[in-house]
Structure 1
Amino acid sequence: MELEVISNISVDCVVFGYDTNKKSLNVLLIKRYLESEIGSDILVDDYVLTGYHVYEHETLDEASTRVLKELTGLTDLYKKQFKAFGSPSRLMSETDQIWIKNKKFSSRTFTIAYYFLLKTEDVGVGSKRYEAKWFPIRELPKLGFDHEKIIMEAYEDLKIKCLSEPITFELLPVKFTINDVQDLYESILGIEIDNRNFRRKLINKKYIIALDEKQVGVSKKPAQLYMFSKDIYEKMFTKNYLISI
């Protein structure tokens, strides 16, 4: 039985991944490629976000989870629905129109955008089906549709959110050093951070737990390892709407 799609509603997924070795915030993109049926002229050759139309039986969240799983094999990731994109001109470039005609979907498609956070090493990108590839956030290739706009808006939202919630720990190993956290914040925000102030502020957080362990396999002096406690964080920030009298 063929699943029924909603032809003008889709989800697009901005998959952010942090490369701890290169200290780089990246976006996972897939190849969009089309040759003419007559001859071998290349009609479309660029990259896009992973996304697809919503099925009739699905919620938006279910659709985004399905799309992400098809590309990465992962489901249990930090996810945020951050905006809907519905400009009448969002799919009107020449290459977009060629692609739309070939794939037989509506030029007036509304997309609901999500972003996800993971570690780059958690995803194998060898699939020939999607030709997925990681790109640094500041070195994006030629993109189809309005996907550069979607990525940049997701990135701005991520920068704001990482300053108010501990979502950055979704991008780090379970055990990390203070320098690992600082490198990540600098990569996301694109700024240099004063090491001493950052270290002092971080280790004073009750939800940052010092472990009785140090780095192994490093040539320099091994650094102290820490963990983020989600349980402690949630207990500290549980909303209480009761009025104390």
Structure 2
Amino acid sequence: MPNKISNISVDCVVFGYDTITKSLNVLLIKRYLESKEKEVLVDDYVLTGYHVYEDETLDDSATRVLKELTGLTNQYKKQFKAFGDPDRLLSEKDLIWIDKEAFSLRTITIAYYFLLKTEDVDVTRNKYQAKWFPLRSLPELGFDHKKIIEEAHEDLKTKCLAEPIIFELLPDKFTINDVQDLYESILGIEIDNRNFRRKLINKKYIIPLDEKQVGVSKKPAQLYMFSKDIYKKMYHKNYLISI
């Protein structure tokens, strides 16, 4: 096994979007520890993360950590901040966990967030007991991971207005309402429906398909797809939509 750097780690905020509940979710893993007497010492959730190996870049570390958790590679990722507060790991439960795992109390973590489709992750057979949680209804979290998630969300809010990254979270075929619902979920605001629809349909990289929704009780809506190729040809950087 490669040598790990004992005081440098990566932590990964994995965002997914549930089109049924219209919820922006975060993928978390179980942190659990019992004493020899079967007393529960630690029982909460944390972000997926690990120490950086001596022979890899930070990006390589984050990609490795995501792949170990989900089996996925080539997902959208962004490094957004380093967290190095001297007392970020000093709660009682964290100290118990650190003693078990034998890593440095003064660990600095480089935080990333990933965007992926929730259906691409099989949580039923995940050895880390991974589970999706709505961003607005998170469980008890270890370390400073609540703060890391909050800051990832703030960065995502800004980024999703500057680049069309939200399509990483949607199915390949989607309705205009799906796009609006996702923006509203990320930004925490209500968007004027008619204005939004008009602006989005006018984007050349939003391609109407000769298909409609299936299996819905109401009138089926038109389906669209996002063309990354057209977007790249048109813009180096562009505000996708003004809300």
Q: TM-score range by the shorter chain?
A: over 0.9
Give 2:128's match in structure 1, choosing from 114, 130, 140: 130
Counterpart AA for 2:90: M
CA distance in 2, matches of 1:238, 1:102: 48
The answer to whether the Cα contact below 8 Å between 2:89 and 2:143 also exists between their aligned partners in 1 is: yes
CA distance in 2, matches of 1:215, 1:151: 33
1:115-136, Cα deviation, whole Å (9 max, x unpaired): 0001111101123521111100
CA distance in 1, matches of 2:150, 2:168: 20
SS at match of 2:162: coil
Q: How does 1:38-187 map to 2 (within 5 A)?
A: 39-127=37-125, 129-187=127-185
The CA deviation at 1:50 is 0.3
SS at match of 1:172: coil
> Structure 1: which 5+ runs fail to align?
240-245
Which residue of the partner structure matches residue 187 of structure 2? Answer: 189
Q: Which has the larger radius of gyration?
A: 1
Which residue of the partner structure matches residue 13 of structure 2? Answer: 14
1:66-107, Cα deviation, whole Å (9 max, x unpaired): 100010000111100000101101001111111101110000
Counterpart AA for 2:214: V
CA distance in 2, matches of 1:100, 1:142: 18
Counterpart AA for 1:4: N
Structure 1 moving runs of 4+ over 6 Å: none
The CA deviation at 1:20 is 0.9
1:9-57, Cα deviation, whole Å (9 max, x unpaired): 00000000001111110000001111112x1111111100000001111
The answer to whether the Cα contact below 8 Å between 2:26 and 2:133 also exists between their aligned partners in 1 is: yes
CA distance in 2, matches of 1:40, 1:75: 38
Q: Structure 2 length as normaliser, TM-score? A: 0.95
Q: Identical aligned pairs, as a percentage?
A: 80
Counterpart AA for 2:196: F
Q: How does 1:24-35 map to 2 (within 5 A)?
A: 24-35=23-34
SS at match of 1:151: helix
> Structure 2: which 5+ runs fail to align?
238-243
1:120-158, Cα deviation, whole Å (9 max, x unpaired): 111011235211111000001110000000000000000
CA distance in 1, matches of 2:6, 2:68: 20
CA distance in 2, matches of 1:3, 1:118: 28
2:4 is equivalent to residue 5 of structure 1: yes
SS at match of 1:163: helix
The answer to whether the Cα contact below 8 Å between 2:69 and 2:126 also exists between their aligned partners in 1 is: no
Q: Structure 1 length as normaliser, TM-score? A: 0.94
The CA deviation at 1:8 is 0.4
Counterpart AA for 2:22: K
The answer to whether the Cα contact below 8 Å between 2:30 and 2:128 also exists between their aligned partners in 1 is: yes
CA distance in 2, matches of 1:178, 1:148: 32
Aligned positions, number: 237
